[in-house]
Amino acid sequence: MAGPLTVYSAPNTRAIRVVWVLEEIGAQAEIKSMPYPPRQHAPEYFAVNPTGMVPLLIDGDVRLSESMAICDYLASKHGSPLVVAPDDPERAAYLQWLWYGESTLMTPLSRLNVVRQVEPKGPQIDAILAGAREHVGARLKMLEERLEGRDFLAAGRLTLADISVSYPLHLVAMLGLEDLLGPRSAAYHQRLRARPAHQRAIAIS
């Protein structure tokens, strides 16, 4: 018989998605919070996960280390409405926004985050930063348009699509880019953050 779920987490990482899903579905798990980044501050973690990255889910013989794969695995296993069913008319929109969060929106944010750490700065770096900022703004505009008349991205309820998008919105705030958010997107982010399950996840992870 499989033992309890174990999730390796660290503050301000994609692991917040996983802990949030656990809280939304009411599943019990042992949360092992690691110093960030664990590959530098907890070298023993490499014996558990060779990438040294979080999150990591262990469920018996199952090991998953992609945050949205873990979220889908957990929500599907528990029959949660966080997943939009294949025969639901909103399924296509759900999939689109599920992957928008980790691909379309995270890609320029990750690039901007890395380039901002380059020293010394100069005209070339400044140009790259300006371009990345422009890309982030354009992709956030897509979100702003989607949220017209909607509280959630698909199916009229909280789904994994919202949980996917919430993390890059958190990164937007961390990078001081909140001026790029439209009013609907800013209000949407605050609604997600205010959910009791999200608040519990922040405290845990």
- Side-chain-side CA neighbours of residue 148 (13 Å): 5
Compute φ and ψ for 6, nearest 5 degrees.
Answer: -125, 130
- pTM above threshold 0.85: yes
Displacement of CA 90 from its chain's centroid (Å): 21
Q: Are 178 and 147 in contact (CB under 8 A)?
A: no
Terminal Cα-to-Cα distance of the chain (whole angstroms): 27
| CATH annotation of 91-195 | 1.20.1050.10
**Percent of the chain at pLDDT exceeding 90:** 82
CATH superfamily of 5-80: Glutaredoxin (3.40.30.10)
pLDDT, residue 27, reads 97
Instruction: Return the DSSP state at 47.
Output: G
- Hey, what are 23's tokens? 């809280």
Distance, in Å, from the CA atom of 76 to the CA atom of 36, rounded to the nearest integer, reads 29
Distance, in Å, from the CA atom of 192 to the CA atom of 55, rounded to the nearest integer, reads 20
**Can you list the residues of the chain whose pLDDT is less than 70?**
1-3
Query: 149's torsion region: left (phi>0), alpha (psi -120 to 50) or beta?
Result: left
Which residues fall within 8 angstroms of residue 176, CB to CB, at 6 or more apart? none
Distance, in Å, from the CA atom of 205 to the CA atom of 188, rounded to the nearest integer, reads 22
Distance, in Å, from the CA atom of 55 to the CA atom of 19, rounded to the nearest integer, reads 9
Each domain of the chain, given as residue ranges in start order, spans 5-80, 91-195
pLDDT, residue 1, reads 36
